[in-house]
């Protein structure tokens, strides 16, 4: 009999007393297996948070398909995570780090096989987390920007307003959200996914970050798709499936 995983909801401490919401589907494995943490994007102002990955079926698909623990975190100000939002800034990064620590403590999770997967503004924050957490097995960044000051100058009025409101326009604020400037701090293998015609996050951002990572000695792969900001699932699948299968199913070597 096959036991289907169930999704559980958790409220954890960000480390400063604030609440972080996390959803988790746990693999039915006798030995610790890998884990993946999803970090959502802007969500069109709906502020759903991590439950988006539950409602779309992504958590259960990744959990059962790869026999791993799949989780999704709500950024500050989204879902039930305490706000206010800070546009991928230190509080958002702390929330992601707290979620990773929660996963790492699960008996079902192999702490050496945790993957962080950020989309859009989730990719901005996840890239910064990768500069602070060196032992992630891998990082997947989809449709992100990695030099926020440059992106701000090229952004639409709506995006510029959100950055001004949530982050401010100081040099320090931009640096705290711009992983390109800290590429040598990244130690994890990185997969970048980006649309060639992205009007919110120019593809040049991904190209520059991929090059900076490679120059720093990081194994980085960039896939550019013929689409806009939202990358269709069928486009991403061809890049994601072999990458995740390799990451979560290491080859056994016999001596």
Residue 43's pLDDT is: 85
Average of per-residue pLDDT values in the chain: 94
Tokens of 150: 């440059």
Tokens of 144: 């992100």
**Are 220 and 190 within 8 A, CB to CB?**
yes
Distance CA(126)–CA(209), nearest Å, equals 13
> For the residues 141-162, what does the mean pLDDT come to?
95
| pLDDT-based confidence at residue 44 (cuts at 50, 70, 90) | confident
pLDDT beyond 60 at 127: yes
Taking the CB of residue 165, how many other CB atoms lie within 10 A of it?
12
> For the residues 166-188, what does the mean pLDDT come to?
98
Residue 3's pLDDT is: 61
pLDDT beyond 60 at 1: no
Dump pLDDT digits (tens) for 194-218: 999 999 999 999 999 999 999 999 9
| pLDDT-based confidence at residue 133 (cuts at 50, 70, 90) | very high
The CA-CA-CA angle for residues 31, 35, 37, to 5°, reads: 160
Dump pLDDT digits (tens) for 66-122: 999 999 999 999 999 999 999 999 999 999 999 999 999 999 999 999 999 999 999
Residue 254's pLDDT is: 35
Reference 138, options 146, 122, 126, 125; nearest CA is 126
pLDDT beyond 80 at 29: no
Residue 250's pLDDT is: 61
* Cis ω before 215 (30° cut-off from 0): no
pLDDT beyond 60 at 251: no
**Where is pLDDT greater, at 195 or 255?**
195
| pLDDT-based confidence at residue 46 (cuts at 50, 70, 90) | confident
Distance CA(40)–CA(73), nearest Å, equals 8
DSSP class per residue in the chain: -PPPP-EEEEEEE-SSS-EEEEEEE----SS-EEEEEEE---GGGT--TTHHHHHTTHHHHHHHHHTSEEEEEPPTTSTTS-S---TTSHHHHHHHHHHHHHHHT-TTEEEEEEEEEEETHHHHHHHHHHTT-TT-SEEEEES--S-HHHHHHHS-HHHHHHHHHHT-S-HHHHHTT-GGGGGGG--SEEEEEEETT-SSS-HHHHHHHHHHHHHTT--EEEEEESS-SS--HHHHHHHHHHHHHHHHSPPPPP-
Q: How far is CA 148 from CA 76, 111, 145, 221, in A?
A: 19, 31, 6, 21
């Amino acid at each position: 009999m096959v036991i289907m995983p169930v999704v559980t909801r958790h409220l954890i401490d960000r480390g400063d007393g604030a609440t972080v919401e996390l959803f988790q589907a746990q693999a039915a494995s006798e030995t610790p297996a890998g884990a993946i943490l999803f970090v959502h994007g802007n969500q069109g102002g709906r502020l759903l948070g991590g439950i988006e990955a539950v409602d779309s079926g992504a958590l259960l698909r990744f959990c059962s398909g790869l026999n791993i623990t799949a989780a999704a975190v709500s950024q500050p100000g989204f879902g039930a995570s305490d706000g206010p939002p800070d546009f991928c800034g230190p509080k958002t990064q702390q929330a992601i780090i707290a979620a990773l620590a929660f996963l790492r403590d699960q008996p079902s999770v192999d702490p050496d096989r945790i993957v962080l997967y950020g989309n859009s503004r989730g990719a901005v924050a996840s890239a910064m987390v990768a500069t602070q957490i060196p032992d992630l097995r891998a990082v997947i960044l989809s449709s992100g920007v990695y030099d926020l000051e440059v992106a701000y100058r090229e952004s639409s009025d709506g995006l510029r307003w959100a950055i001004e409101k949530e982050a401010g326009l100081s040099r320090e604020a931009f640096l705290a959200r711009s992983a390109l400037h800290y590429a040598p701090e990244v130690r994890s293998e990185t997969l970048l996914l980006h649309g060639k015609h992205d009007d919110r996050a120019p593809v040049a951002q991904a190209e520059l970050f991929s090059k900076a990572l490679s120059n720093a000695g990081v194994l980085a792969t960039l896939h550019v798709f013929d689409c806009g900001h939202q990358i269709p699932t069928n486009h991403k699948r061809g890049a994601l499936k072999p990458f995740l299968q390799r990451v979560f199913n290491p080859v056994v070597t016999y001596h």
